[in-house]
Structure 1
């Protein structure tokens, strides 16, 4: 047992009670329920436990919470998390009250326990533990905790632009969110794929028409939509046709390949996780597709009659929803602009509605902070760390790398099977404790 293990053990009742109270505050960003209570509670934790200077940063939506604790050197680390949670629906699928912390079989269950309140309070308690055991921080620590992550972080870029030269000035950003590797080993992520998502609607008439009376006279919106899709993507060549789409796609470096080689990979477990039986990829191919290749996905198509039997109609409209994952230095704004130009060719029938546009984010693999973070996480876990050059999913880390222009490390504390956004969201009790230790050792190692 180390000094931090002893301290956590002696204070765990208090730590658990703090987590329980944070969970009970709710903080559902889609409805606003409990947002003020959650802000008040998080701000009180910063003030009472860390003696931090705090500010509430107003936005056009839910405000962000800023906290600052001075240290003995000018080096500054900014920690990011979020206090908002998803709605718990469907509540009847939960085995316990989603806003009452429940412990069973070594896991905590509650809405937001993994995403992101358990991880957030583990950060705070890790810094608190360091202060109690060492009196002073070795460097400046700042927190920015937003309240709209579950709604796409729509106002986070504005906050970073407004306060980037003042409150948010830092040498390094550490994002504590997401899930560990499915093996249970800790993960350090250096980047993530970007995202462009949109909807194309084709409307050729005010209402459905009889396919005999109107056939060859009224345009079929499904066929028009199919023409648009073929302009965007070639199924024959298995490639995207959007102009300049592949500009900025980068190949993995030798160091990336070395890190990937150390990541566990089991084809059968991957097939089981995705519910398929035909993933014929070796490890290098699998991770190359997830980390360094963009995607073009149609997530839904809606039109016409899909009930029993047949209905002889020409539908009046067809809708398709798309999401595209971007990598490397692909330009999300340019790609979205070129998609709109393709859709405009089919005016007045076709219109497009943009939902989100996040550029990919990447931190240089030769950053000296990486080895320091690895040392800290391995001290906290007694396990070999997995380094992922790129996360397959999308988070708004571009606000740190592209707007704040600071290197960014993503370190998730939650287990891979946390069921975030679903009923019975959970966090392993030991992973919660490891999260506290990870925050403690990050302070210790970056201070040495």
Structure 2
């Protein structure tokens, strides 16, 4: 099912498109949450901390590829919005080729460098072996991750946010079953959780492929579509790589935070890991809203409807702020009680660490709305490099906060690193948005 986002009520379109992505993101979190819960309950806190410490590396690698595929398919959405189906199919071809090449290169580089990276991160010795085993399996499965992210991005580019959700629900269930089998039955520890994640993600990608082949005729490729278009590939790389680097810059900042955290020991790391998993449950809505805005803006830029883009930003902002206030209060007052899902030993001590983190981020969700909404929306409008400056601001903010916290051995300081980064990035993105709208007004495209 395809959806034209260039007509109809913007607020209604944004809500209807965002909800399946949000639910899908929640189920995607079940991959890592199932890993964390089952590892924490059946293997121990050291393994929990190992999986948690690898989360930043997974974000760096997979986040880069998510940004890349999302950037490539911005062009797909723009051509779809303009009604140019042939150019849209050609963009699918170049996106597929470029994604395949990059994923193979990244697999090789990440697996070769991983031992050194874990040492640079000061990974504690009591969790090093399990962390290495877990992340190496994830790196080996990069191609499976790319398959789903690329195909789901293509479906969303033509307005279908529901089918990727359905396939993720099935894959999330498979991931939980495989986690239990590998860890409890075969005693595979953290590595078993990684295998479960990769297999489940690969299955969801294959389901997307089968669905496109059987049910989405506008994406069926003919021989002419496979003619290599260098100009189109350059255009996609111009948007795709800055989006990928944007994700990477953010991930590097979290690695800096994780490095500072590792100096406080495995108990603090386990508490931080559990808190991040709890936070990620509610923050998936911001990510979903950002994904929606990227596709909404891309289609409307293709159709030349800039006023609709401005209305979409307005609607999305107020939706996000309302959600941020509600979930921020929930995290501040009650989030810590979800710790029991992840921890089976030292519960009270770890819950204290969880509570500190969730209070720090819970009061800072409003800036996060702007970061996700405006960064993705601006990228969807075809601006690849501008949002990278906001990513650099995030990196600077996180690095300074983490560095100061590490010097003073302050867990609270480490927890404040993300809020500082969100505030800096949000300010820059708001300024960028108004500057872009002013340029469109000068061109006579806005009243």
Between Structure 1 and Structure 2, the one with more strand by share is 1
TM-score interval (norm. to shorter): under 0.3
- Taking structure 2 as the reference length, the TM-score comes to 0.26
Q: Which has the larger radius of gyration?
A: 1
TM-score by length of 1: 0.26
